[in-house]
Amino acid sequence: MEWQIHNLEKANIALSDFDCNHDFNELPSYNGNYPQAEGGVLLIHGESISKAEVLDIFLSKINWHPKRIIFIEDMRRVVENMADYARRKNISFIGLEYKGAKKAPWISISREEFEATWKQFLKESQSVS
């Protein structure tokens, strides 16, 4: 969790300021680690429980029904599972599967570069639909 938060902050991505820190000790663990929520970051360890299930429990705990989920994942079946969850909950969903996540070199980009790329992606994805 610390690594995730550190890298998001390093990229100038603002984390949530609402109180949502939670350890999900009631859920199955993976190698002794339970899903966690901190600063708006939801971290699920392993595959002992689906990400959609953890998200559903998390949203129930904070009593929030989002209008849209943007989900990025390197496994298609996980993206499809999250898309099914969003459809059942009547939540708009954008799911992205990225390939080569474990092999690709990681580089830091600025917030401005990310936002420009994201705006271009949204523009292109709207013209396709």
* Burial (CB count <10 Å: 0-12, 13-18, 19+), residue 31: exposed
Residues 72-123: pLDDT tens digits? 888 899 999 999 999 999 999 988 888 876 676 777 888 888 888 888 888 8
Helix, coil or strand: residue 118? helix
14 — pLDDT class (breaks 50, 70, 90): confident
18 — pLDDT class (breaks 50, 70, 90): low
68 to 24, 51, 76, 94: CA distances (angstroms): 23, 16, 19, 8
Whether residue 8 is predicted with pLDDT greater than 90 in this model: the reply is no
Contact 45, 33 (CB under 8 A): yes
Nearest to 55 by CA among 73, 77, 36: 36
Distance CA(30)–CA(19), nearest Å, equals: 25
Q: What is the pLDDT of residue 126?
A: 75
Nearest to 43 by CA among 79, 1, 82, 71: 1
The rounded percent of the chain whose pLDDT value lies above 90 is 22
